[in-house]
Amino acid sequence: MEPDVDLNPDTDDLPLRANTNHILVRHYVLDLTVHFERKVISGSVVLFLEPCCGVRTKAEDGTGPGDGAGSTEAGGSQDGFVSRSRDVDSIEDGTKGLKKSMTRMDKMFGAREREGDEFQAVSGVGSQTAAETKTIHSSHLWETNSDGDFTLVLDCCDLDVSKVEEVDITSVSAMSSLPSEVRCEKSGVSSVNPQAAFFQKLISLPSSRWKQRHQLFLLCSRAPGAQDGSALHFQRDRWSLQVRKKGATSPQEFPRAVRICYETRPTGGSVRWTKDQDNRVCVYTAGSPINNRALFPCQEPPVAMSTWQATVRAPSECVVLMSGEEQAVPIEDRNTRFSVWNYYVTMPMPASTFTLAVGHWCQVTAEIPPALERGVRDRTDCGKTAKPEAGSAEWTEAELVSGLGSSSGAVVKGSSLQTCRDQTTCSDSTFSYASFENEGLSVTDYSGMVDDGVSCSHGDYPCRFTEQLARSQRVIPHRVFGPVSLLQKAQMGVLKLLPRCLAAAHAVLGVHPFPRLDVLIVPAGFSSLGMASPHIIFLSQSVLHAGSPDSGENGLSLCGSRMCHEIAHSWFGLVIGARDWTEEWISEGFATYLEDIIWAQAQQLSLQETAEQSDLKALLRWRRLSDELQNSEEELQILRPNMENTGQVSESGSSTVKHALNPDKTFMQVHYLKGYFLLRFLASQVGEQQFIDFFRLFVKKYHGQLILSQDFLRMLLIIFPDMERKGLTLSAIYADWLDQPGIPKWLYERSAVWSQARLVEEVKAEVVKWILLSQSHQGKGRKRKRIEPKVNYKELTSEQLVMLLELLLEESELSVAAMLALQRTYNLQNHDAEVRHRWCELVVKHAHNQAYGDVEHFLVHDQAMGVYLYGELMVHEDPEQQALARRCLSLVQEDMDQSARTVVEEMVL
């Protein structure tokens, strides 16, 4: 194990310490309790582990991601299933069935009350930092008699670990009824290791029995600790948790199930404790560069694909949203103030995709009740829970062993979640379903494209791509949540557009990879416009409907395009992921390219309208990219920073993510924009429709897998051989687009064409009018005002307004009269955040102090976009502007995302 060193977050890379070439987590069972008063999440995670028989240290060029994901087909062979039952206890006596519930700690560890006290005592050292002590939380004898013992290394940061123990899964009598035939070869299972044999039976169950398998995972997770020295030795350093068992000298001898008891820290990098827009406490996973290692000890490298199930206990008035395949029905936790929520996934995914959000949110409905519109809020009733009916929350052992319930897409039975009891118009179903059969939404159907026999290449799990029902499900069940104060805006924008965007995405890309979707309007401090995770999307309040209800589709453009971007991630970023985290363009470039196509489909634009809108957006992105590349370090401009070493790891499987801890990289968009332009370039070579058809083929082949750039590019070159005959080889594409900074020649040439597009020419004509107006007011002093000639200004779309303001930003001077007329003509303060951002830049540049209120409002309410506006306020050395920057920072800094706060404080303080 390499020594733990203090990394410089400004320059160094993020370590991925997990030894995934030696051993893999196949399934996680989390049991968590949310404590708002202490700002911690406590509980346990049980890891079900499978040793690897070989070592992979290099990317296997020419192989599919399933082949290259590890010698044990990490993620490829993993099936998964989960049960919908609640509060199932471990089985100690096969004749007695399931025990009645005890307290959660008693369930996990038996009735050993003193261990609960020990947990509290150990977790009290949460304020200790890595700088104060190199070894954080070590069990006794870590350094003693450890020669030759195998070490399990997990990615872990900002967690207080109190105990690590082996779980005795052989004590679960239900396991003994599983079939005896076992696939033992690859994992070194022998008859002298009954734990391994039991585990191999469990993971060998076919995906058709996913319910039984997940129920058995749950039973095993509640089993007692192994009696023959159950406490494992462990050590925490800054980035990892290391675990040993005395005498276990190889991965094959290491326990198959390990329970880790821990508590998060209030300042952990993966978890954000903050307040929502109604000033109510909430917590959500931040999707930060360190992903989920500050939420639970895990294997962060993407190749460690696993399934999971989680029980989350939270205050009864709260809503718990999580990455899970079915709608969770909250259950009252006996006589406590808490409710219990259960989620699961059956598709293996990287641990970094796990997402959790807990808060006092309400569901957005088709009609917002007048009581809420008037602001009359019953604060204590958000999150109505269902009491479990007798027997409904528990399965008998006989039912488990019989393999009840093959894979089904049915929604959980029982009382549906009703959020905010005063929303009297809530329907019985909490999901929104939409049919477009009667709405006249024209949808291009690509399902008739050539079928070349490509079928699923991933391992065995319940796959929606093979379900006939999923193929025709244009709009998956969906819900929208947010704070009460934003329900109407979310209704007018998100809820209105979401069905259209989902149907459009299905028309473009085919089967929705996930069976349902929740959308959450996250707190103002969220650092980006959106974040997609399995089954859930976080949206910034900045994308919500702009302006008044009668502002029409123009006020929905940012909201619609951003939702299309996040929905596109279901295909590129989630169901198909990058095998090397440095290849972010595989996720973000694809989503940026697809957002335009899906949003045009959702708007029912003609081919000409689609092309014109696409060219205007391309020019705006070109300007943004060109500006970014002029003002950033060259090493941050490369889409494939590891170049020929992309995908390579050490002997153990550990690696680093280049530049991941550099706060400047957090706010760069080069992987979005340059990746988008690479895809536009490739589309220009083969034809746009043919390129989209190819996307569908690619998804069909690679869904459920991890890829590198060459997997996409090689398949493209095979399908379109003319490209190579024109000199577009793999090495040429690498050289021009992926492995060097700067801008390829094609992009320079193409930008000149976009700058003469019709929508752009319209904007240029308007710019001339505004420049003439400004010049007519300059140098007048106090002379008698002349009568102004009436000018007819053309109505512009949101994207055209952004272009107009950007072009006016290039003017060295604009008169006060022109600024006032500009604001009045377009009602700029009521447009979407992209327009308002450019308006604020214009206000700052020309020191238009009459609109400083617009700047302050933007910096407070649009934190996802305002970071560099602080820099503009400081750089002019205008005392009034600098005071404005400091005032805004003081208002929001406590709730800001940590990366944003770091960057802004460097500018301002």
Contact (CB, 8 A) for 40 and 358: no
Relative to beta strand 331-332, strand 240-244 is: unpaired
- Contacts with 486 (C-beta within 8 Å, 6 or more apart), sequence order: 277, 521, 541, 544
Kind and range of the H or E run holding 710: helix 709-719
Structure tokens at 325: 């395949």
Nearest CA to 270 out of 302, 235, 296, 299 is that of: 296
In the residue annotation, 749 being an active-site residue is answered as: no
CA angle 316, 319, 321 (to 5 degrees): 140
Contact (CB, 8 A) for 543 and 564: no
For residue 575, the SS3 value is coil
Tell me which of 397, 566, 595, 628 is the catalytic residue: 566
Contact (CB, 8 A) for 199 and 251: no
Structure tokens at 769: 């009018």
Tokens 């995908």 map to which residue? 647
End-to-end CA gap in the chain: 40
Contact (CB, 8 A) for 478 and 519: yes
Compute the Cα dihedral for 432, 438, 439, 442 and give only its sign. Answer: positive
DSSP characters for 122-178?
A: HHTTTT--TTT-SSEEE-TTTTSS-TT--EEEEE--SEEEEEEEEB-GGG-GGGGGS
CA angle 45, 50, 52 (to 5 degrees): 135
Contact (CB, 8 A) for 312 and 297: no
Relative to beta strand 362-363, strand 536-539 is: unpaired
Nearest CA to 314 out of 285, 275, 356, 355 is that of: 356
CB atoms inside a 10 Å sphere around CB 186: 16
Contact (CB, 8 A) for 833 and 647: no
Kind and range of the H or E run holding 115: helix 113-123
350 Rama sector, left if φ>0, alpha if ψ -120 to 50, beta otherwise: beta
Contact (CB, 8 A) for 76 and 304: no
Amino acid at 630: Q
Q: Distance between CA atoms of 296 and 32, rounded to whole angstroms?
A: 10
Q: Distance between CA atoms of 686 and 724, rounded to whole angstroms?
A: 12
Structure tokens at 716: 């493209």
Q: What is the DSSP letter of 828?
A: G
DSSP characters for 178-226?
A: S-S----GGGT--TT-HHHHHHHHHHTS-GGGHHHHHHHHHHHHTSPBP
Q: Distance between CA atoms of 677 and 669, rounded to whole angstroms?
A: 12
Q: Distance between CA atoms of 535 and 540, rounded to whole angstroms?
A: 17
- Contacts with 182 (C-beta within 8 Å, 6 or more apart), sequence order: 189, 197, 200, 201, 204
Alpha carbon 860 to chain centroid, angstroms? 24
Structure tokens at 295: 């939420």
Structure tokens at 291: 């992903």
| Whole-angstrom Cα Rg for the chain | 28
Q: Distance between CA atoms of 182 and 184, rounded to whole angstroms?
A: 6
For residue 744, the SS3 value is coil
Compute the Cα dihedral for 419, 424, 430, 431 and give only its sign. Answer: negative
What residues act catalytically? 566
